[in-house]
Amino acid sequence: MRRSGEVKVSATTTINKKNTSSGALKPGTYFMMGNFACVEAAIMAGCRFYAGYPITPSSEIFERACVRFPEVGGSAIEMEDEVASAAALIGASYAGSKAMTATSGPGFSLMMENIGLAFITEAPLVIVNVQRAGPSTGIPTLVGQGDMMQARWGSHGDLETIAYSPSSVQEFFDLTITAFNTAERFRTPVFVMADQVIGMMWERLKIPSIEGVEVLQRKVMDAKTRAKPFDYANDFIPMPIVGTGTNINVDSLTHDYRGYPSTDYTVSESMIGHLLGKIRRHAEEIWKWDGYLLDDAEELVVAYGSTARSALAAVKQARANGIKAGLLRLITPWPFPDAIIERYSRRVHNIVVPELNYGQIVHPVRENAQCPVIGINRAPGALMDPTTIVDALEVVAN
Amino acid sequence: MRSEIRITGLGGQGAITAGNILARAAVLYEGKEAVMTEGYSPYVTGGWSRADIVISTEPIDYPLVTKLDLLVTMYQEGLDLNLKMIKGNGAVIAEKQLVSFSGVTRKDLRMIPVPATSIAESLGRKIAANVVLVGSIAALVESVSIESLKKALADRFPKAIEFNLKALDAGYELASKATGEHMEEAKQVV
Q: What average pLDDT values come out for chain A (398 residues) when binned by 10 residues?
A: 40 48 90 98 98 97 98 97 98 97 98 98 98 95 97 97 98 98 98 98 96 94 83 92 90 95 97 97 98 97 98 98 98 98 98 98 98 97 97 96
Q: Taking residues B88-107, report their average pLDDT.
A: 95
| A74 & A183 share domain | yes
B61 interaction partners in chain A (CB closer than 8 Å): 309-310, 312-313, 316, 386
Mean pLDDT of chain A: 94
pLDDT of amino acid A6? 38
**Does residue A57 have a cis bond before it (omega within 30 degrees)?**
yes
pLDDT of amino acid B44? 66
pLDDT of amino acid B40? 84
Nearest to A202 among B36, B62, B66 (CB): B36
Residue A208 in domain: yes
* CA A110 – CA A84 distance, rounded (Å): 9
Q: Which domain holds residue B145?
A: 2-189
Entry pTM:
0.94
A140 three-class SS: strand
* Interface membership of B124 toward A (CB under 8 Å): no
CATH number at residue A27: 3.40.50.970
- In a mutational test of the A interface, the residue from B62, B66, B155, B157 whose CB has the highest number of chain A CBs within 10 Å is B62
Among A212, A244, A273, where does a domain finish?
Answer: A212
* Interface membership of B61 toward A (CB under 8 Å): yes
Q: Which domain holds residue A126?
A: 10-212
What total number of domains does chain A contain?
2
Residue A106 in domain: yes
Residue A299 in domain: yes
Residue A30 pairs with which residues in a beta bridge?
Answer: A205
ipTM above 0.90, yes or no: yes
pLDDT of amino acid A304? 98
- Is the pLDDT at B46 greater than 70, yes or no? yes
pLDDT of amino acid A255? 97
Residue A382 in domain: yes
- In a mutational test of the B interface, the residue from A15, A17, A33, A203 whose CB has the highest number of chain B CBs within 10 Å is A203
pLDDT of amino acid B189? 47
Nearby residues of A236 by Cβ (< 8 Å), 6 or more positions away: A185, A186, A187, A219, A278
| A200 & A305 share domain | no
H/E element holding A143?
strand A139-143
Task: Choose among B5, B10, B85: nearest CA to B40.
Answer: B10
Instruction: Spell out the alpha helix ranges (H) of A296-385.
Output: 307-320, 338-345, 362-368
Contact A141 B40 (CB under 8 A): yes
* CA A328 – CA A305 distance, rounded (Å): 12
Among A212, A238, A262, where does a domain finish?
Answer: A212
B20 interaction partners in chain A (CB closer than 8 Å): 31, 202
Nearest to A202 among B23, B40, B62 (CB): B23
What total number of domains does chain B contain?
1
Question: Are A119 and A250 a contacting pair, CB within 8 Å?
Answer: no
Q: Taking residues B104-131, report their average pLDDT.
A: 95
pLDDT of amino acid A19? 61
